[in-house]
Every structure is written in C-alpha cells, then in structure tokens.
C-alpha cells in the first residue's frame, strides 16, 4: 500500500527510496539510533531515512535504551511501510497519540496561553539501519582553526571549553545534562585524550540574544579563562521584533574580537535550526541568520559548524514536532545529537 507523504510528494519519496535501493548494491549499511518521532492518530510518520529492507526496527519510549524501559511491538503498536520508510500507529497502540498534546492543531500559537505545553511524553525513539545516499553531516573539517586546541589535547594539557549562547546551548529540553550536545562532545574528547583534563563550562543563558550575550561576555566567557569558546546565538535574535541581521552580525564580530583581545581562546560559531513554523513569535527567517553566522565566521577567520543545513537535511522528511522538546524552539535528545554530530565533524579532533 502506498502511503501519503507528510510535507513531501509521493514522487519525491519514491525517488528517495529508489536512490536508497540503487545505493544498496555499493554502500554499507549505516545505523540510526534514537531518532525521535511523534505519532498523530494513525497517520504515517516518516523517518529521516528509508530503512533497509529486511532489517529490524526497534521502537522504544526512551532516547537511551533501558533494560526496564518500554519497548513497542510491530503489529501490536505500529506497522511499517518498507517502501516509504514510514511507521503508523495502530488501533489500541500503546504509543502516545500527539492529538492529545495541548498544542496539537493550534496555528500561530502563543505558548504562554498553554500552561504545561511540551512534547516530552509524546516521543518514540527508533533504531534502524539504512543505506546512506549522501554524506551526513555535510560539514567541512574546521581543524585548521583549532590548531591550539589540537596541540593541547595531543600533549595532554588541560583544555577549558566555554559554551556560550541561549537556552539551546544551556541545555533546553535535553532529558539529562550528559545529553546536552556540547557536554557530549567534550566527554567524547576526554575519552579520546585521557591525559588531557577537559573542563566544559556552561556560559549560556536562556532567552538571550546577541545583545544580552555581549552584556554577559565578561562574566560568562572572558573571566573563565577559556581555551575554546563555542558561540551559538540566533534563535532569539530571529524572533519577531528582535535583533536585525546587521546588528546580529556586528554583535558576533564584537564577541569574537573581545575574546581574541582578552584571551588566547579559539572560537567556533555555530548556527541553529528554525523553530516550529506554527509558533506566533518566529520570523521565518532563520536561514538568513544561519547565513549571517557563516559569513561572520568566514570574515573573522574562525571555525563554523553548520547546524542549520544539517538539521534541515534530517528534518526534510519529518514533522517539526518530531524534533522539538518543547514543541517551539528547543531540541529534544535526538536534536541535541544532531548538534553533537555536527560538532564532531567540524572539529577534526574526535
């Protein structure tokens, strides 16, 4: 049975499937773990990639597999369409139904009018195998901008990393601190370089734009004596009536200039993803802020991590709700994993 794609033409889905089949003869299987999905009634839910035919699909209630966690069963809780890469709830399923979410069906919603909003209880997490049809993440190695950090790690010196930004960087809607993207990245570096003591510091503040970021720069970054600063703004800057792009760019330039003037730290700029398009306060111009972030990184000569385009690549076949912990502008655990993978590919240190 041919399912109808959500936000994607049937022809486009079939083409993607055919590409996957063509790749199957020459590519090795890759594994996707913990991809998040919310199910709406008995509608088809698309995975980011088309799973390889004949390979098992695991569906569970928690991002991290737990021995005592809830696992969902094919046939009892969901059915799979192998040709399109979709899962569908069945009648009587134990899978949460997103139709009971406070924000389901709301258009141009104001979240302040829906106390208790959020998606935490509605995710299912999927493990599956697939044939890669393109490299992901699509991220240039920026190791040339991180030579001092690489040298410190190889020689076993201490490395102080400050993550600076808004609520996303602060860890918004990660289910536990260890799953916040930059913590996960720093812990991976620590395992690879056990002689180097890596300290990862949260310098982010929820709700901040680059305007507030500049005001907090001394306390949150400069006073921490960092060796590496990860800078991620844009989500709040891009909101309706917030920070225009010329000022956004100017603020990023000033942050980097002051960091370089007052410390010896290297800098990584990273972009962010679009919020829920149904959210009242989004300007729908996140691509412009991502491009501005990239341009500033090129202009000042620092590393750039392209979260925006890599997020969009994953989101192409998925609903925004699948990836948003608060259903607005915070990544869930799988969303934090996207950031983490982009940082890995960017750094050349892992």
| Tens-place pLDDT, residues 105-161 | 999 999 999 999 999 999 999 999 999 999 999 999 999 999 999 999 999 999 999
User: Phi/psi of residue 125, each to 5°?
Assistant: -120, 130
Other beta carbons less than 10 A from residue 196's beta carbon: 17
Own/partner contacts of 98-107, CB < 8 Å, gap of 24 or more, are 98/38, 98/39, 98/40, 98/41, 98/122, 98/321, 99/40, 99/41, 101/38, 101/321, 101/327, 103/278, 103/327, 104/40, 106/278, 107/278
Return the pLDDT at 24: 45
CA 147 to chain centre: 26
Compute and round to an integer the Cα radius of gyration of the chain.
Answer: 21
The C-alpha atoms of residue 2 and residue 21 are separated, in whole angstroms, by 17
Burial of 31 (0-12, 13-18, 19+ CB in 10 A): exposed
What is the number of residues in the chain? Answer: 350
Token pair recorded at residue 141: 């190695």
Number of H helices, E strands in the chain: 9, 12
* Residues 84, 15 contacting (CB under 8 angstroms): no
The C-alpha atoms of residue 101 and residue 97 are separated, in whole angstroms, by 8
Note if the pTM is more than 0.75: yes
* Residues 337, 328 contacting (CB under 8 angstroms): no
In sequence order, what are the beta bridge partners of 199? 160
* Residues 10, 4 contacting (CB under 8 angstroms): yes
Token pair recorded at residue 31: 């594994």
Q: What is the DSSP string of 5-67?
A: PSSS-HHHHHHHHHHHHHHHTTS--EEEEEEEE-B-TT-EEE-SSPBPTT---EEESSSS--T
Token pair recorded at residue 151: 């040298």
Burial of 193 (0-12, 13-18, 19+ CB in 10 A): buried
Token pair recorded at residue 185: 């990245």
List the chain residues with pLDDT less than 70: 1-27
Domain positions in the chain: 10-130, 143-347
The C-alpha atoms of residue 162 and residue 262 are separated, in whole angstroms, by 15
Return the pLDDT at 27: 67
* Residues 51, 129 contacting (CB under 8 angstroms): yes
Q: Could you tell me which of 328, 327, 324, 345 has the C-alpha nearest to residue 336?
A: 324
Own/partner contacts of 253-260, CB < 8 Å, gap of 24 or more, are 253/296, 253/299, 253/300, 254/214, 255/164, 255/210, 255/213, 255/214, 255/217, 255/221, 255/231, 256/231, 256/296, 256/300, 256/302, 257/300, 258/217, 258/222, 259/217, 259/221, 259/222, 259/226, 259/229
Architecture of the domain spanning 143-347 = 3-Layer(aba) Sandwich (3.40)
* Residues 45, 38 contacting (CB under 8 angstroms): yes
* Residues 336, 130 contacting (CB under 8 angstroms): no
* Residues 182, 159 contacting (CB under 8 angstroms): no
């Amino acid at each position: 049975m041919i399912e109808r794609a959500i936000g994607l033409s049937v022809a486009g889905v079939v083409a993607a499937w055919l590409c996957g089949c063509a790749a199957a003869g020459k590519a090795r299987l890759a594994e996707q773990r913990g991809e998040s999905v919310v199910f709406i009634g008995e509608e088809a839910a698309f995975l980011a990639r088309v799973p390889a035919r004949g390979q098992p699909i695991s569906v569970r209630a928690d991002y991290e597999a737990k021995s005592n966690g809830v696992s969902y069963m094919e046939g009892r809780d969901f059915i799979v369409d192998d040709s399109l890469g979709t899962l569908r709830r069945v009648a009587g399923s134990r899978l949460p139904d997103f139709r009971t979410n406070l924000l389901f069906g709301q258009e141009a919603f104001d979240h302040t009018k829906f106390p208790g909003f959020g998606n935490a209880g509605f995710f299912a997490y999927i493990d599956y195998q697939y044939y890669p049809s393109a490299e992901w993440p699509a991220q240039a190695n920026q190791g040339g901008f991180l030579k001092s950090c690489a040298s410190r790690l190889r020689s076993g010196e201490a490395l102080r990393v400050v993550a600076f930004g808004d609520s996303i960087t602060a860890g918004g809607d990660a289910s536990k601190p260890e799953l916040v993207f930059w913590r996960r990245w720093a812990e991976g570096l620590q395992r690879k370089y056990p002689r180097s003591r890596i300290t990862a510091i949260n310098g982010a503040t929820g709700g901040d734009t680059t305007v507030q970021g500049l005001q907090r720069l001394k306390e949150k970054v400069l006073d921490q004596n960092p060796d590496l600063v990860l800078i991620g703004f844009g989500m709040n800057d891009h909101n309706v009536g917030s920070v225009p792009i010329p000022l956004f760019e100017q603020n990023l330039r000033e942050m980097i200039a002051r960091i370089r003037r007052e410390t010896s730290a290297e800098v990584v700029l990273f972009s962010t993803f679009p919020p829920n398009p149904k959210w009242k306060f989004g300007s729908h111009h996140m691509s412009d802020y991502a491009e501005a972030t990239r341009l500033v990184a090129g202009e000042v000569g620092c590393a750039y991590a392209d979260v925006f385009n890599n997020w969009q690549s994953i989101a192409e076949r998925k609903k925004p709700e699948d990836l948003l912990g608060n259903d607005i502008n915070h990544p869930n655990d799988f969303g934090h994993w996207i950031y983490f993978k982009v940082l890995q590919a960017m750094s050349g240190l892992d």
